Structure 1
Amino acid sequence: MKRLKTLLATLALATAAPFASAIEIIVPAYFYPSWMPSQNEWLNLTSAASQGVQITAIMNPGNGPGAASNSDYVTAVNAFRAAGGKVLGYDYTCYGVNLCTPEVPATRSTADVLADAQRYASWYGVDGVFLDEMSTQTSALPFYQTVSSSLRSAHPGWKIVGNPGVAPAAGYTAVANTLMSFEGSYTDFVNGSFLSGLTNAASTGAIVHSVATVAQMQEVMGLARQYGLGAIYVTDGTMASSNPYLHLPSYWQAEVTAAAVPEPGQAALLAVGLALLAVLRRRRSS
């Protein structure tokens, strides 16, 4: 009986973590890779990638690739990718109809988008692009079809992530590997209609800001798994700062842990334990 109780306790520990699939974290890494380690949050990204978690970082040196290659970013990107991470270049698209913000030029052509993508490729060897300010309208779809086909022709292995922020019209799924079809607050994610209206969940992602606590973050991650989302990012950054992505969340390591799958050893221990338990029960009944 003592051996049986010990085995049951061991099995309880083995099954403490849920057996769920991993989920990709796509991080808007809009913070500078400082030469001072204490101020370089790219080091935190690299550490997470080295743990085997699927981390994709969106680099954004200057609302795009900037005017020239930046050695600090080169160092950070190379270290992060060497640890197993993937990097996307931030590439704004003005919603495909020249609805640009005042901070950037008034127009944005497909050639402009593709030129910035090529700069990322040449200067940083990125793994793909993040097409921000993506339209949701059918009328703008040809713009994104042109961009997508050109990128896939020039860089066949690239990952294309689009950020419409809400569910776009039919046809947009084909232009990107992943569509971030939710960008909003914790309250809207948990209480809104996004999750209940999901289609193509595995190729859909969400960026959720204003998630204040670890418990709320875990709730969001749990819902993302439950509904089969392919990608997620959760942060306690808020819109009060006008940019909730200037830093990693204070609970970054807890988010990394929540995104991971249980170690293979846990599953193996459970299988062996169940087999031993069956043997012990047979012996007791004989």
Structure 2
Amino acid sequence: MPYLTQPGTQPAVSAGQLRLGVPGYAHPLLAPREWEALPRVGAGVHWAVLNIADGPGERPDPHCLEAAGRLRNAQVRVIGQLDLAGGRRTFGALLSDAHRFRDWYLVDGFYLDRCPVERAALPELRRVVGALRDLLGGGHLVTAHGTHPHPGYAEVADQLVTFSGPWHDYRWSQAPEWTAAYPPERFCHLVHGLPRGHLAQALRVARWQGAGTVWFTDRTAKESRSACWETMPGYWDTLVSQVGTGVSE
């Protein structure tokens, strides 16, 4: 294998420093500028989601393998997207996708998209997460709820996406009291439709609510649920500098 960086290894980051969680760029052939920019940020990127075709796809993609390898060599976690469909996908289907991500792309963890939020779904999620940890011998697991779930979910994965939505909702959002018992590294916020002039305010909201990982973009979700995440924001340079990496494009 040409990429030798060990899974899950990252340089230390100062306490309280925000990092970027990249929820999924378009295919490297469609977004080459985006994939090339991330390795230069290095430790400022907490993780980047690899999503070939709503999962790992039907066969290995050499362009995605190359892009993932460059990130791993820059000590950026690459995590494969598994769509839980609100808890409707079967255990077997999820594990099948996970095996392909591991075998084809050497992922460092998984991003469990459309994760359920209710207490009744917790036992099955624990089962899925346990199997994924066994598969990777650890790994970084992110449960993407998009809102605050039942508090029990905070004990399942490494990190929870507790907000995913537009700026006009985020600016008035509030975190429930139970989140104060956990460090910022446990929470991620993804915000689209954020104008450049409100970026500083959004960063303050993230810190007030105790999020350690963020992704802010001025792109909108007009075309599809994932369209807003497929390219870098128009204020990429500013965003990178504001999260404390000191790296510009």
Aligned match of 1:28:
23
Query: What pairs up with 1:213-252 in 2 under 5 angstroms?
Result: 213=196, 215-242=197-224, 243-252=227-236
Aligned match of 2:242:
258
Secondary structure in 2 aligned to 1:32?
Answer: coil
Aligned match of 1:42:
35
Alpha-carbon shift at residue 241 of structure 1 (Å): 2.7
Query: What pairs up with 1:78-97 in 2 under 5 angstroms?
Result: 78-96=69-87
Aligned match of 2:119:
138
The partner residue of 1:64 within 41, 45, 55 is 55
Q: Whole-Å Cα distance in 2 between the matches of residues 192 and 31 of structure 1?
A: 28
The partner residue of 2:173 within 192, 204, 217 is 192
* 2:187 matches 1:204: yes
Checking the alignment, whether the CA contact within 8 Å between 1:20 and 1:261 is kept in structure 2 is no
Which letter maps to 2:28?
Answer: P
Change (3 A) 1:224 1:246: same
Query: What pairs up with 1:139-178 in 2 under 5 angstroms?
Result: 139-178=120-159
Which letter maps to 1:27?
Answer: V
Secondary structure in 1 aligned to 2:171?
Answer: helix
Which letter maps to 2:218?
Answer: D
Percent sequence identity is 27
TM-score for the superposition, normalised by structure 2: 0.85
- Give the structure with higher Rg (CA): 1
1:134-154, Cα deviation, whole Å (9 max, x unpaired)? 000112112211101111222
Q: Whole-Å Cα distance in 2 between the matches of residues 195 and 206 of structure 1?
A: 14
Change (3 A) 1:197 1:236: farther
Alpha-carbon shift at residue 218 of structure 1 (Å): 2.2
TM-score for the superposition, normalised by structure 1: 0.74
Q: Whole-Å Cα distance in 2 between the matches of residues 198 and 143 of structure 1?
A: 22
Any unmatched runs of 5+ in structure 1?
Answer: 1-18, 99-107, 264-286
Alpha-carbon shift at residue 261 of structure 1 (Å): 5.7
Q: Whole-Å Cα distance in 1 between the matches of residues 53 and 231 of structure 2?
A: 16
Any unmatched runs of 5+ in structure 2?
Answer: 1-13
The number of equivalent residue pairs is 230
Which letter maps to 2:63?
Answer: D
1:127-185, Cα deviation, whole Å (9 max, x unpaired)? 10000010001121122111011112222330000111111113211221000011111
Checking the alignment, whether the CA contact within 8 Å between 1:21 and 1:261 is kept in structure 2 is no
Which letter maps to 1:119?
Answer: R
